Amino acid sequence: MSTVITPPPQILVPVLGSDAAFPVGRIFCVGRNYAAHAREMGHDPDREPPFFFAKWADAVVPTGSTIPYPAATRDLHHEIELVVAIGAGGTDIAAERALGHVWGYGVGLDMTRRDLQAEAKKLARPWTMAKSFDQSAPLSALRPAAEIGHPSAGAIWLKINGETRQSGDLADQIWPVPEIIAHLSRLVALRPGDLIMTGTPDGVGPVRPGDRLEGHVDGVGDLAVTYR
């Protein structure tokens, strides 16, 4: 069957040290998965189950990019995150089997138009335009779990212009990766190609034109982008 318009291109993320690429389907994001960040956003991490929001696949922008400062905001914020790449789909996945569905990992930024988010919260409206906008998901090359294992502890940090702004440890996650996958798979059928952004440590804050952002997750990799 022919199409009436040219189909959009498949979003591909490179695999580090390889000519291969990972095709991206959907991007799910976990909110408030580090206790200190939940508190800095005014919430009690001991009383809330995980919740999810989404970004479009074409929000992905590769590491090394120079990115235009986004429209419709004066308060763009950084959120550094471990990213999980799903290789095998499923529903109602048990936590003890969840890591068998993971293809690999990367380092990502959940860029947020914080002023739009604050206004949406105040009016009890969806966050979509605060979270899923053009080039709002900078992402490193991915590394296969078969090569690096499944990181559950290790440093995660973000620097802006060489100054550390966020610093945490994967071990501080309220919901570790297996539990995230188990919970999400009870809400939607996971598919190969899905990405899961697993939440950010505390220290989120503003990004200005001209800033260079460098992110890192121990054992996974590095990410760098510049805003203009």
Whether 1 is covered by a domain: the verdict is no
Domain count, the chain: 1
Whether residue 89 lies inside any domain: the answer is yes
Task: Look up tokens 């940090």; give the residue.
Answer: 157
pTM of the model: 0.95
pLDDT score at 41: 60
Residue 13 covered by a domain = no
Under 8 Å between Cβ of 172 and 200 = no
Backbone angles phi, psi at 197, to 5 degrees: -90, 125
**Within a domain: residue 211?**
yes
The pLDDT profile of the chain, 228 residues, written as one tens digit per residue, is 899 999 999 999 999 999 999 999 999 999 889 876 556 666 666 657 889 999 999 999 999 999 999 999 999 999 999 999 999 999 999 999 999 999 999 999 999 999 999 999 999 999 999 999 999 999 999 999 999 999 999 999 999 999 999 999 999 999 999 999 999 999 999 999 999 999 999 999 999 999 999 999 999 999 999 999
Q: Contact, 28 vs 184, CB < 8 A?
A: yes
Element (H, E) at 29: strand 27-30
Distance CA 155, CA 151 (A): 10
Cα diameter, the chain: 54
CA proximity to 116, closest of 134, 99, 104, 128: 128
Side-chain-facing half-sphere of 13: CA atoms under 13 Å: 36
Whether 5 maps to a domain, the answer reads no
167 within a domain of the structure (yes/no): yes
83 within domain boundaries = yes
Residue 9 lies in a domain: no
Residue found by looking up tokens 């105040």 in the block: 122
| CATH number of domain containing 38 | 3.90.850.10
d(CA 36, CA 153): 16
Whole domain around residue 128: which residue ranges? 20-227
* The dihedral formed by the CA atoms of 33, 36, 42 and 47, expressed in degrees to the nearest 10: 60
Q: Using the structure block, give the residue that is written with the tokens 């190969």.
A: 192
